[in-house]
């Protein structure tokens, strides 16, 4: 069969004028509009959970454990912890929504079926959902650091980079959550991910103690943990950047790129049959 | 404004002698096949929907109606065949086609936490209504849904009928040239269904092409310019409802209560005379009863005559005859 070229409808040119198959930002923006409308309804509980949880953790460990630990890597423990818990906050505010909200919307609410009937492709949908979660993680992730400032952490210009680091890391973990939400056969199987993956991720990241206190094999595992790179990069931004931090940045970016590919691939398999 | 193209969507196939229309159809499916594992949901489907008509898609559960709808938006990918929607090849240029059509899904997927107007507003963005026209588009959709006084009501506070009207209006915010309605009235009260019929007729009056799948045969008969009857992933027959009734069920149908020898014997006698029949509960309904030979009629006892309906065609063609 021969193709007769791109058929064009008579009359007004279609609004989606980009060539078929091109990634467009208009649908991503539309996904964000929806998120913003939903957020205006739910910002109070969302903000409460996103701020209070890491702050309680910071106060409990920072003040309680800090009186025993004293100085770590030349910093008071609560400063060490306040910068590290930024990453914990990013993990929780990005991976859980990516995993649970995405699953509920896809399976129970059929939201994505409705959106994909509009001129929106799966990768634009996934990008929009992850970008929104990442933006929230970028903002909420700063809360523990600000509390640490209240406990005497000196404010520095490098702190302005922290929202960006939190946002990039949040993008990666949101996509990881979206990918896994499309992998699990049922909502109950998410327990494996939460207990078996998220808990070790956040404990073996150098947040609560430097990873060089771990046995060598565990240190090697920690270096594969994207959250570890986020912790180190945040500390670098706050206490002074070094050459290592380029490696940490690369770790975060590679992680996000890999997760984007996996999330788009797996969501496409689930949403397009 | 139907495009004045006498186009065949693909090179090697020309418009056949059976297509007198010069305009390209709004929807063209050619030899479309869709399999799910060992199950073939759509099995060599051919269907043209001319621009500007309401086409009812009828068929029993599992006939492939919903799968066909999903293939038109490229949310389901055909294993074989060609699909063209408003001149755009699907799935290759599906995004352009989707921008021109509005879809009303079978499953209610409104955002419950959002208000009526917010649900519509989100879809003006998804369908890329220009900024300057968004407020008017929302207002127009509210009017279509008869929800002007509910614009700030949260969606979870709406009644079932209101939700369905909102779901339909949401798919029309961008003034689509083609509307796909997948079982738009399933599970609704008769009163609410009638309200929705008005929306469908209104679309047709505006020149919008409508493809509507439904279980309610009476609804298809009332609203459709043409119906396509699907069974086992193919179109069994299509045409104007009245023509289909005349061709397959005649003018009148007469229902007889079977005698002591049972309904099977009665049906055998009717079929031996070259007439079709169907069961209506305990009764046997003879199609085209006006052609019953008097000699046979005398043996059947007293019958209840009524006008033939599309339902008689539906059951006769998809129920017993196809098996």
Could you report the per-residue pLDDT of B138-172, keeping only the tens digit for each? Answer: 999 999 999 999 999 999 999 988 999 999 999 99
pLDDT at A14: 45
Question: What's the CA gap between A39 and B137, in Å, rounded?
Answer: 23
**Contact between chains at B99 and A14 (C-beta distance less than 8 A):** yes
Among candidate residues B82, B65, B80, the one with its CA nearest the CA of residue B12: B82
Query: Which tokens go with A17?
Result: 């004028």
Distance of CA A214 to the CA centre of its chain: 26
Least Cα distance to B200 among B190, B189, B191, B211 occurs for B211
Confirm or reject contact between B79 and chain A (CB < 8 A): no
Of B3, B10, B122, the CB nearest to A11: B3
Indicate yes or no: CB of A10 within 8 angstroms of CB of B107: no
CB-closest option in B11, B77, B100 to A2: B11
Q: What is the DSSP string of B77-135?
A: --SEEEEEETTEEETTTHHHHHHHEEEE-SS----TTSBHHHHHHHHHHHTT--HHHHH
CA angle B43–B44–B45, rounded 5-degree value: 100
CB contact under 8 A, A34 and B5: no
From chain B, the residues in CB contact with A2 under 8 A are: 10-12
- Listed by number, the residues of chain B in 18-47 with a beta carbon closer than 8 Å to a beta carbon of chain A are 36
Closest CA in chain A for residue B119: A34
Q: What is the pTM of this model?
A: 0.88
What per-residue confidence (pLDDT) applies to B22? Answer: 53
Q: d(Cα A15, Cα B154) in Å, to the nearest integer? A: 30
Q: Does the structure show a pLDDT above 80 at B16?
A: no
Quote ipTM for the complex. Answer: 0.88
Q: Is B126 on the interface with A (CB under 8 A)?
A: yes
**Chain A closest-CA separation from residue B35 CA (Å):** 10
User: Using CA atoms, how far apart are residues B267 and B258, in angstroms rounded to an integer?
Assistant: 9
Cα–Cα distance measured from residue B67 to residue B106, given in angstroms and rounded to the nearest whole number: 12
Q: Among B30-39, B130-139, B234-243, B252-261, which is the least confidently predicted range?
A: B252-261
Q: B74 touching A, CB under 8 A?
A: yes
CATH 3.40.50.300 spans which residues of chain B? 27-240
Domain boundaries, chain A: 25-271
What is the residue-averaged pLDDT of chain B? 88
Q: Is the per-residue pLDDT at A53 higher than 90?
A: no
**Of B86, B88, B96, which to mutate for an interface test with A (greatest number of A Cβ within 10 Å)?**
B96
Can you tell me the distance from the alpha carbon of A259 to that of A233, in angstroms, rounded to the nearest whole number? Answer: 20
Q: What is the rounded CA–CA span in Å between residue A240 and residue A157? A: 10
Superfamily of the domain at B27-240: P-loop containing nucleotide triphosphate hydrolases (3.40.50.300)
Chain A positions touching B12 (Cβ under 8 A) are 1-2
CATH 3.30.70 residue spans of chain B: 251-307
Contact B36 A273 (CB under 8 A): yes
- Lowest-confidence region among A46-60, A94-108, B62-76: A46-60
- Cα pseudo-dihedral A71, A73, A76, A82, rounded to 10: -140
Of A9, A121, A271, the CB nearest to B100: A9
Tokens for B56, please give them. Answer: 């009812």
Which CATH fold topology does B251-307 show?
Alpha-Beta Plaits (3.30.70)
CA A87/CA A236 separation, integer angstroms: 13
Per the CB < 8 Å rule, is A7 touching B103? no
> Quick check: A12 contacting B, CB < 8 Å?
no
What pLDDT sits at residue A18? Answer: 65
Chain A CB contacts of B176 below 8 Å: none
CB-count exposure of residue B134 (10 Å: 0-12, 13-18, 19+): middle
- CA dist B65 and B73 (Å) reads 13
User: Distance between CA A154 and CA B11 in Å, rounded?
Assistant: 72
């Amino acid at each position: 069969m021969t193709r007769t070229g791109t058929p064009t409808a008579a009359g007004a040119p279609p609004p989606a004028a980009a060539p078929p198959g091109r990634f467009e930002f208009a649908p991503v923006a539309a996904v964000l509009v929806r998120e913003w409308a939903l957020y205006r309804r739910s910002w109070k509980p969302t903000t409460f959970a996103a701020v209070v949880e890491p702050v309680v953790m910071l106060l409990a460990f920072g003040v309680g454990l800090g009186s025993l630990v004293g100085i770590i890597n030349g910093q008071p423990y609560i400063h060490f912890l306040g910068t590290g818990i930024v990453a914990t906050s990013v993990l929780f505010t990005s991976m859980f929504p990516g995993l649970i909200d995405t699953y509920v919307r896809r399976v129970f609410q059929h939201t994505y079926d409705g959106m994909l009937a509009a001129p929106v492709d799966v990768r634009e949908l996934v990008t929009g959902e992850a970008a929104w979660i990442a933006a929230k993680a970028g903002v909420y992730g700063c809360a523990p650091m600000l509390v640490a400032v209240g406990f005497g952490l000196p404010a520095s210009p490098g702190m302005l980079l922290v929202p960006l680091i939190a946002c990039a890391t949040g993008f990666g973990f949101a996509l990881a959550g979206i990918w896994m939400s499309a992998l699990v056969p049922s909502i109950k199987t998410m327990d494996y991910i939460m207990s078996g993956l998220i808990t070790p991720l956040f404990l073996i990241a150098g947040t609560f103690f430097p990873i060089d206190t771990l046995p060598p094999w565990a240190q090697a595992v920690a270096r594969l943990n994207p959250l570890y790179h986020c912790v180190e990069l945040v500390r670098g931004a706050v206490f002074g950047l070094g050459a290592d931090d380029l490696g940490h940045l690369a770790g975060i970016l590679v992680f996000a790129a890999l997760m984007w590919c996996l999330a788009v691939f797996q969501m496409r398999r689930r949403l397009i049959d | 404004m139907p495009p004045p193209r006498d186009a065949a969507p693909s090179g090697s196939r020309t418009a056949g002698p059976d297509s007198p229309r010069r305009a390209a159809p709004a929807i063209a499916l050619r030899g479309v096949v869709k399999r799910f594992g060992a199950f073939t949901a759509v099995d060599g489907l051919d269907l043209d929907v001319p621009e500007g008509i309401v086409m009812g898609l009828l068929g029993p559960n599992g006939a492939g109606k919903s799968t066909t709808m999903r293939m038109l938006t490229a949310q389901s990918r055909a294993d074989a065949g060609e699909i063209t929607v408003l001149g755009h090849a699907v799935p290759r240029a599906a995004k352009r086609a989707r921008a021109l059509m509005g879809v009303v899904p079978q499953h209610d997927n409104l955002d419950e936490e959002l208000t009526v107007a917010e649900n519509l507003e989100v879809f003006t963005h998804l369908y890329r209504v220009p900024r300057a026209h968004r407020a008017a588009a929302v207002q127009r959709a509210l009017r279509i849904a008869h929800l002007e006084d509910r614009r700030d009501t949260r969606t979870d506070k709406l009644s079932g009928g209101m939700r369905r009207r909102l779901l339909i209006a949401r798919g029309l915010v961008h003034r689509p040239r083609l509307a796909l309605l997948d079982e738009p009235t399933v599970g609704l009260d008769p009163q609410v269904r009638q309200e929705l019929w008005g929306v469908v007729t209104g679309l047709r009056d505006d020149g919008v092409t409508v493809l509507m799948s439904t279980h309610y045969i009476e609804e298809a008969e009332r609203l459709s310019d043409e119906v396509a009857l699907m069974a086992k992933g193919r179109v069994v027959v299509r045409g104007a409802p009245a023509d289909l009734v005349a061709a397959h069920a005649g003018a009148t149908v007469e229902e007889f209560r079977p005698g002591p020898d049972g309904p099977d014997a009665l049906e055998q006698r009717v079929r031996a005379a070259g007439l079709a029949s169907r069961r209506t509960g305990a009764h046997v309904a003879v199609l085209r009863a006006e052609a019953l030979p008097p000699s046979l009629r005398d043996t059947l006892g007293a019958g209840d005559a009524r006008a033939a309906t599309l339902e008689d065609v539906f059951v006769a063609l998809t129920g017993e005859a196809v098996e």
